[in-house]
Structure formats: structure tokens, C-alpha cells
Amino acid sequence: MNFDRIKEKLSILADAAKYDVSCSSSGSQRKNSNKGLGDSSGMGICHSYTEDGRCVSLLKILLTNHCIFDCAYCVTRKSNDIKRAAFKVQEVVDLTINFYRRNYIEGLFLSSGIFKDADYTMERLIQVAKKLRLEENFNGYIHLKSIPGASDELMREAGLYADRLSVNIEIPTKSGLKMLAPDKNHDDFIKPMEKVKNEIIQYKQESKLLKSTPTYAPAGQSTQMIVGASGESDRDIMYSANFFYKKYDMRRVYYSGYVPVASDPRLPSIGSAVPVLRENRLYQTDWLLRFYGFDVREILNNDFLNLELDIDPKLSWALRNRHLFPVDVNTVEKQLLLRVPGIGLKSVNKILQARKFRNLTWDHLKRIGIASNRAKYFLTCNSGENELKEYSSENLKQIILKNSVSKFRNTLSPQLSLF
Ligand code: SF4
């Protein structure tokens, strides 16, 4: 083995993979039952993200950064003049096992540019996973990227060896995709998602009847959208995400701020990266849809196309719906309690438990851990009194902002930081 060449390939192909943020490894139940290597359950794979979004507990690489496509937003596009490299299947297997044995990683995240065609590339990705599972007895976490346009048969096979599969939709709208990746077909993304969803359902049903049924993609599927490459509003992005959650049972949708990598009139100019705060607000909205019972149209709609950057989306919604507040913490139903700014899911459950035994006061709520600097304007404790209810929403927002310490204060400040 030529170690220098492998090192060089690793440096090129790990760097090319850093733009993909969809590598969370939660939710897999693969057990080490054959005395093999690794165990993606129980031990708890930790996810550690570097500043540029890489999950460092997984070996995160591309099989190759050669690509027949020319997607304008992608550093790997064929017209980009960069160093190219490709791993052989066995090289990725050896690297994974060696890194695993040295305790550097707990699993593999493998994506790829498209070599010759979708099936040819997908076959190679599957070969890596298959060799790791069958020849090396590897039970660690494997996340495989599905190549848009890969055949149903290959998608079926991929899920037998991978914990998670993902197809990155990349551009949230069909029109954006057409503009930035005219060679690509929107249906080529949708077909593998549909296939994976159906296979997961089918394998689950079969396993109820037949204990020996193999697991199929036990950590489900995910997708990633690039934010800010093609001018979509937050409404467009979250409507797409909502569609993918509902229609294809996505475990996660990831939002990745576009990093300008090309001078192209169709794209934002180099140096104008998407603020990290926009990504953050999209993730908060995603959370509200999945765990807080919000409908996407309540948060974003024709009158409200983009999320406010200076306040979180729940507070923003509450300020637009003051007629629903204040609510009494001792009597309000769960659905509305979840919508009170400053109260998270865990606190809601604690409140519901605690109020079975006594009437709660602000002292109790502070001990439970709610953020009273926001909640106190929307909540009462038996008294019917709440602070500043006569203030307009805009005034209230300014008061809350003044009394809050945001970790994003520097990002939001219009003034230059001098120190
Ligand atoms: S197909 Fe994938 S790897 Fe190739 S240019 Fe498009 S986004 Fe990049």
C-alpha cells in the first residue's frame, strides 16, 4: 500500500465531504451479536461537530470527487479546477477498520461524486458497506449517501448494510434545482426516498411475522437542503422540509448554509456566506414542527416569508398571537403550554407532572428551569395578572430583547466590535 498516496486521497476526499452536514448517527439499534467489531447501539455514538459542520466521530469521506455533473453550488462539479482522487473499495474498508481499531472513529459516513452513472457509483458504495459487515464483522455505524437515480434494486440492497441512508435534495425548490443543476432531475431524488420509505415499512412488517428478518436502514433516512444558494425564502425551505417529513418519513432534514465556492452569476457572490443564525432559526422551526405541534403555516406563510433573526420562532409566533395569552400554568392544556415562549418540552412535562400535586408558583417554575424572562409575559400563576399586557407586540419584543443575553448578540449587533 502506498501510504503517501492514501494520505493524499484522504486529505482531498475528507475535505470534499465537509460540505455535507447530514451525518448525525442517532437512532440506530444495530447490536454486536456476532462477536464482531463495534456496536452502534448502547455505547452511544457521540456526535461531535467541528465549526464547519463535520461530525468528527465518523470517518466522513467521499469515495471520489470525480463527477459527471456540473451543479453550480458544488465544489465537486466537473467544471471546477480542483485536485481529484478516488478510493478503491478495499482502501475505504481498510481505513475504516484501522481508524476504528485506533479508536479514532465509531463509524463511517460515505458519500461520493458520480463516477460513470448513478448505478455504477451506488454499487461501489454498497460494496464498501457489504465488505465491512460481511468480511470484517463490523457493527459500527454506517451512513451511506444514496446516489440520485440509483435503481430500486440497489437501494434495497444498500439498506441491508447501512444504518442510515440519505439522498440530499440540495436545492429546496424544483425551479432552483433547474436553474443551478439543469442536468439533474427532481424525480431522481424522490424515487430513492420513496423506495427506502417503502422498504423500511415492509421490513418492519415482515419482522413481526419472521424473527430472522434482517434490519433495513434501522436509523431511517435523512436529507439535506442548501440554504441561500438560490434565493428561496424560509417559507419555501420549511414547506419543502415539512413535505419530506410527512411524505417520506424523514428522520431528519438538515439545513446547510451555502458557502460560496464559485463566481457564477446565478449564485450569491464569494464572501457572502449565509449567516449561521439563519440556519439556527431554521433548525428551531424544524423542532417546533416535529415536537411542539406547530403547523408550518402558522409560523411561515404568505404574510411572513422569513424568520426573524433577532428572536426565536416560538417567541415570534407568540408575539403575533397575543390574543391567546396569558394562559394559567395550572390549568392550561398541554398543547398551548408547549407554545409559551421560554418553556421547553422537558419543562412542559415536568409542569404537567408537578401540577397534579399542587398549584405551581413562579418559584416552582424557576426551579423547573423555564426561561421566565420570556415566559412571564405570556403566563400567569393563578393570579390572572401578567406583566406588561398593555404593551404592543413590538414594544414587548424590545423589552424582551433588552433583558435577554443572546449567544448571537455579536452576530446581531449592527456595530463593529472593536475589542
Ligand atoms: S452530482 Fe453531487 S457531487 Fe456531482 S456536482 Fe452535483 S452535487 Fe456535486
**Does ligand 1 lie within 6 Å of residue 252's CB atom?**
no
Statement: residue 43 has pLDDT above 70 = no
Distance CA 364, CA 70 (A): 58
Query: Looking at ligand 1, which atom is closest to the CA of residue 68?
Result: 4
Cα distances (angstroms) measured from residue 336 to each of 83, 113, 332, 357, 404:
54, 46, 7, 21, 23
Name the one residue in this structure whose C-alpha cell is 468528527: 56
**Does ligand 1 lie within 6 Å of residue 171's CB atom?**
no
- Strand (E) or helix (H) holding 289: helix 276-291
For atom 6 of ligand 1, the residue with the nearest CA is 71
Distance CA 255, CA 53 (A): 11
- Provide the grid cell at 337: 403550554
Distance CA 388, CA 395 (A): 10
Distance CA 245, CA 253 (A): 8
Mean pLDDT, rounded, for 392-409: 81
pTM recorded for the entire structure: 0.86
**Does ligand 1 lie within 6 Å of residue 24's CB atom?**
no
Distance CA 398, CA 339 (A): 20
Cα distances (angstroms) measured from residue 66 to each of 4, 78, 83, 86, 260:
20, 7, 9, 7, 20
Q: What is the DSSP string of 83-144?
A: ---B--HHHHHHHHHHHHHTTS-SEEEEE---SSSHHHHHHHHHHHHHIIIIIS-B-SEEEE
Three-class DSSP category at 29:
coil
Distance CA 145, CA 189 (A): 12
**Does ligand 1 lie within 6 Å of residue 71's CB atom?**
yes
Q: How far is the CA of 74 from the centre of ligand 1 (A)?
A: 6
**Does ligand 1 lie within 6 Å of residue 63's CB atom?**
no
- Provide the grid cell at 200: 423500511
CB of 22 within 8 A of CB of 222?
Answer: yes
Q: How far is the CA of 67 from the centre of ligand 1 (A)?
A: 6
Three-class DSSP category at 227:
strand
Give residue-wise pLDDT tens across range 80-116: 999 999 999 999 999 999 999 988 888 899 999 998 9
Q: What is the model's pLDDT at position 154?
A: 96
Statement: residue 53 has pLDDT above 50 = no
Give residue-wise pLDDT tens across range 261-273: 778 889 988 878 8
Distance CA 69, CA 74 (A): 10
Q: What is the model's pLDDT at position 415?
A: 39
